[in-house]
A = this chain, B = another copy of it.
Amino acid sequence: MVEYRFYHPIEVRYGDLDPQGHVNNAKYLTFMEQARVAYIQHLGLWKYGSFMDLGIIIADAHVTFLAPIHLDQPVRVGVHVSRLGNKSLTMEYRLEDGRDGKVLATGSSVLVTFDYRNEVSIPIPDDWRKTIADFEDLHEPESRKITH
């Protein structure tokens, strides 16, 4: 199982619930988004300045729902970057019960680095690449570096 080095706690809101009495499926993406923003801020890659400077676009999102989430349940979201491509990266998420670590949902998203001013995708900026690779221990093996 993936080791998560970053977790963000989420308080379930009454407003997250739907008529079936548990968290609505769309809110899982909201929880993952919140944890993603906290991860980026934790790594010092974005300073809560202009949202236009955040510079990532979601290309793809996937959620697997494993257990319903209730109002009184403390939730924590693990965030993990599993892939650093040229112009995109993959983030993985794991929603857990904060009390016992029970996995409530897993998910992933493909994020494309984007220049909002010129509206084009751009290579992952060097500081993002280095900071994330350091944090996640994602450095390429020597052999691969040689062949490229």
Residues on A lying within 8 angstroms of B by beta carbon are 10-11, 13-15, 17-21, 24-30, 33-34, 37, 48, 51-52, 54, 57-65, 70-72, 116
> Are B60's CB and A63's CB within 8 A?
yes
Question: Which residues of chain B are near A48, meaning CB under 8 Å?
Answer: 70-72
> Are B11's CB and A11's CB within 8 A?
yes
**Contact A15/B24 with A29-B29, A64-B59, A70-B48 known, Cβ cut-off 8 Å:** yes
Question: Which residues of chain B are near A58, meaning CB under 8 Å?
Answer: 25, 65
> Are A14's CB and B33's CB within 8 A?
yes
**Contact A26/B19 with A11-B11, A63-B60, A65-B60 known, Cβ cut-off 8 Å:** no
- B15, B19, B26, B27: the one within 8 Å of A21 (CB): B19
